[in-house]
């Protein structure tokens, strides 16, 4: 392709109905990726029995996928300058849906682990390449609108996925959690093939294989630690210690290679953009907060509120409703308002609603939890959409593929970090609270001795002690949930000063 043709292609932007359909196509591509993860997380228990696997073994269905996803994300961004976004998107969608079909027909754990790993390799391209493609078909001043639509698709998966996954596995089979990717993926493939213009960068960069290898080892080690650390008891495990040393060594070699190589794997130019770097920090925070709370809330509602899995999923769908209802409004608002102000409001509301979750007890009213969840969904839109918009507002078009790849990679790391951090904190706080409360349950405690306890809590019988232990454990876990929700709120507030580094995209564009 000649430079003139490439330039003409790059300047072509669809308008009217074609722009809307192109937007839908580029939203469907990442939707199957985020939707898949949410569905499979719910289906793991059903898969365990069907595949005759232990809980630890079946967890590798997620771990293998997430490792491949993390390792291959920067790879797709690096080669897009040579092959173009559209062909790579079509290849990755086709590979993803074929692997989904193979996963659904698997009869052994080994089969499904292999297919899931390959599926993760293809899935790694879907979010970054579709995001950079979406930005390329919108004018810079309309990036907020583009990211508003983008937010609708990205937030749909993690919020509604658990609800739909619960219904599918309950009334059909875990295999349908994979088969559901087929119609969505085929629709995305056809729409992208017909509607999305093919744009190829004028100057493809050489591929630094050694740099990629070092980064891949680093990412794979970190992802494994974050995903399996809790099961291995963190740094009490030699495996975690060894992988930490491997990750540190590989990352150091990667940094040295990046600083000394004439063609580093990652173009350092993308990290000179203050808005992009600030956006990365805040996007990691969003991954931590969103997925940390997504993991905490369902068991909180089930164990403390007594709601069944399906009902808890319906309750949490209110958050998705709030996010989707406000996403487009926020996107259009960003054409006129400084994104930093919207981000600040979103972070403030998110911290407040997280703190409000810590005030809920075992008598959780459905209306109250749904109202708070809906408001929290609005805060997520006010947070993530302007962050995405500001992060790429001043980035050169030729850097967007690499920029969106690392943006997506670090969001995945943030997601894994949030799950690892808050689940581990919950487990440790539950144990600590149980020990503290258990010390008070004794015949020599005046409060216990002078109270008329239920007969089932007989301190002199084994059955009575077991009954008391169940109550103590539930109370200990409730206090741990309170601590976790408040920790999330504090983390959000602590990260607010990052906004001071970010520039106003409107002034940058005017300059």
Q: Place 456 in a pLDDT band, splitting at 50, 70 and 90.
A: low
Same domain, yes or no: 244 and 288:
no
pLDDT of residue 337: 85
DSSP 187-226: HHHHHHHHHSPP---SSPPPP-HHHHHHHHHHHHHHHHHH
Percentage above 70 pLDDT, the chain: 85
How far, in Å, CA of 258 to CA of 211, rounded? 7
pLDDT of residue 203: 65
Rounded to whole angstroms, what are the CA distances from 124 to 95, 162, 409?
A: 11, 21, 9
With 70 as the cut, is the pLDDT of residue 201 above it?
no
Residue scoring higher pLDDT (229 or 314): 229
With 60 as the cut, is the pLDDT of residue 278 above it?
yes
What single-letter DSSP state applies at residue 131? H
pLDDT of residue 5: 37
Q: Where does a domain end: 226, 245, 266?
A: 266
Residue 444 burial (C-beta neighbours within 10 Å; 0-12, 13-18, 19+) = exposed
Residue 105's domain comprises 1-205
Task: Give mean pLDDT, residues 269-276.
Answer: 81
Q: Where does a domain end: 171, 189, 205?
A: 205
Q: Where does a domain end: 226, 251, 266?
A: 266
pLDDT of residue 97: 92
Q: Place 511 in a pLDDT band, splitting at 50, 70 and 90.
A: very low
Task: Give mean pLDDT, residues 244-248.
Answer: 91
Residue scoring higher pLDDT (355 or 455): 355
Residue scoring higher pLDDT (487 or 14): 487
Most confident range (mean pLDDT) of 311-325, 401-415, 439-453, 477-491 is 477-491
Task: Give mean pLDDT, residues 232-260.
Answer: 87
Same domain, yes or no: 180 and 292:
no
Rounded to whole angstroms, what are the CA distances from 364 to 301, 360, 370, 460?
A: 8, 6, 10, 33
pLDDT of residue 91: 92
What domain count does the chain have? 3
Q: What is the CA radius of gyration of the chain?
A: 24
How far, in Å, CA of 128 to CA of 135, rounded? 11
With 80 as the cut, is the pLDDT of residue 496 above it?
yes
Average pLDDT score over the chain: 79
Task: Give mean pLDDT, residues 349-372.
Answer: 84
Same domain, yes or no: 199 and 215:
no
With 60 as the cut, is the pLDDT of residue 9 above it?
no
Q: Place 445 in a pLDDT band, splitting at 50, 70 and 90.
A: low
Q: Place 94 in a pLDDT band, splitting at 50, 70 and 90.
A: very high
With 60 as the cut, is the pLDDT of residue 510 above it?
no
Most confident range (mean pLDDT) of 207-216, 248-257, 273-282, 398-407 is 248-257
Q: What is the pLDDT of residues 152-196, one digit of tens each?
A: 777 776 667 666 776 777 677 788 888 888 988 999 999 998 888
Same domain, yes or no: 183 and 286:
no
Most confident range (mean pLDDT) of 162-171, 196-205, 480-489 is 480-489
Angle (CA) 103-181-290 rounded to 5° is: 100
Q: What is the pLDDT of residues 289-315, one digit of tens each?
A: 776 777 777 778 777 777 776 666 677
Its pTM stands at 0.77
Same domain, yes or no: 322 and 379:
yes
Task: Give mean pLDDT, residues 425-440.
Answer: 79
Same domain, yes or no: 117 and 234:
no
Cα torsion angle, 287, 292, 295, 297, sign? negative
Same domain, yes or no: 234 and 197:
no
Same domain, yes or no: 225 and 358:
no
Same domain, yes or no: 199 and 216:
no
SS3 410: helix
Which CATH number fits the domain that encloses residue 432? 1.20.1250.20
Residue 416 burial (C-beta neighbours within 10 Å; 0-12, 13-18, 19+) = buried
């Amino acid at each position: 392709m000649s430079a003139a043709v490439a330039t003409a292609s790059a300047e072509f932007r669809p308008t009217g109905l074609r722009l809307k359909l192109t937007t839908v196509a580029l939203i469907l591509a990442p939707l199957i990726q985020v939707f898949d993860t949410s569905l499979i997380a719910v289906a793991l228990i059903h898969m365990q029995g069907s595949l005759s696997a232990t809980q630890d073994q079946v967890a590798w269905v997620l771990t293998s996928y997430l490792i491949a996803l993390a390792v291959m994300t920067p790879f797709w961004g690096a080669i897009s300058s040579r092959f173009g976004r559209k062909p790579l998107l079509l290849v990755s969608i086709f590979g993803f849906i074929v692997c989904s079909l193979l996963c659904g027909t698997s009869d052994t754990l080994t089969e499904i682990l292999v297919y899931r790993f390959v599926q993760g390799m293809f899935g790694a391209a879907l979010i970054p390449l579709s995001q950079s493609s979406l930005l390329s078909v919108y004018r810079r001043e309309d990036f907020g609108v583009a990211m508003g639509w983008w937010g609708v698709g990205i937030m749909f998966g993690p919020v509604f996925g658990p609800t739909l996954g619960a219904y599918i596995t309950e009334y059909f089979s875990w295999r349908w959690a994979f088969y559901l990717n087929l119609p969505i993926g085929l629709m995305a493939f056809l729409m992208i093939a017909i509607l999305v213009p093919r744009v190829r960068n004028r100057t493809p960069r050489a591929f630094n294989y050694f740099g990629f290898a070092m980064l891949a080892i680093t990412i794979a080690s970190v992802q494994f630690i974050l995903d399996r650390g809790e099961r291995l008891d963190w740094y009490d495990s030699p495996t975690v210690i060894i992988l930490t040393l491997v990750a540190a060594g590989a990352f150091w070699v990667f940094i040295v290679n990046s600083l000394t190589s004439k063609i580093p794997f990652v173009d350092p130019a993308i990290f000179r953009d203050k808005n992009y770097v600030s956006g990365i920090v805040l996007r990691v925070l969003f991954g931590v907060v969103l997925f940390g709370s997504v993991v905490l809330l369902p068991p909180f509602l089930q164990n403390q509120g007594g709601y069944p899995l399906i009902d808890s999923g319906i309750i949490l769908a209110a958050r998705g409703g709030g996010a989707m209802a406000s996403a487009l409004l926020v996107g259009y608002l960003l054409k006129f308002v400084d994104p930093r102000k919207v981000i600040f409001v979103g972070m403030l509301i998110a911290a407040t609603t997280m703190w409000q979750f810590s005030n809920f007890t075992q008598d959780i009213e459905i209306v109250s939890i749904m109202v708070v969840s809906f408001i929290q969904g609005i805060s997520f839109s006010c947070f993530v959409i302007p962050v995405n918009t500001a992060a790429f507002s001043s980035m050169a078009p030729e850097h967007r593929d690499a920029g969106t790849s690392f943006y997506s990679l670090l969001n995945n790391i943030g997601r894994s970090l949030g799950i690892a951090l808050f689940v581990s904190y919950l487990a440790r706080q539950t144990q600590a609270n149980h020990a503290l409360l258990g010390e008070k349950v004794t015949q020599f405690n005046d409060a216990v001795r002078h109270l008329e306890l239920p007969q089932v809590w007989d301190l002199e019988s084994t059955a009575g002690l077991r009954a008391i232990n169940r109550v103590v454990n539930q109370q200990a876990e409730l206090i741990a949930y309170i601590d976790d929700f408040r920790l999330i709120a504090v983390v959000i507030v602590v990260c607010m000063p990052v906004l001071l580094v970010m520039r106003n995209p409107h002034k940058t564009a005017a300059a």
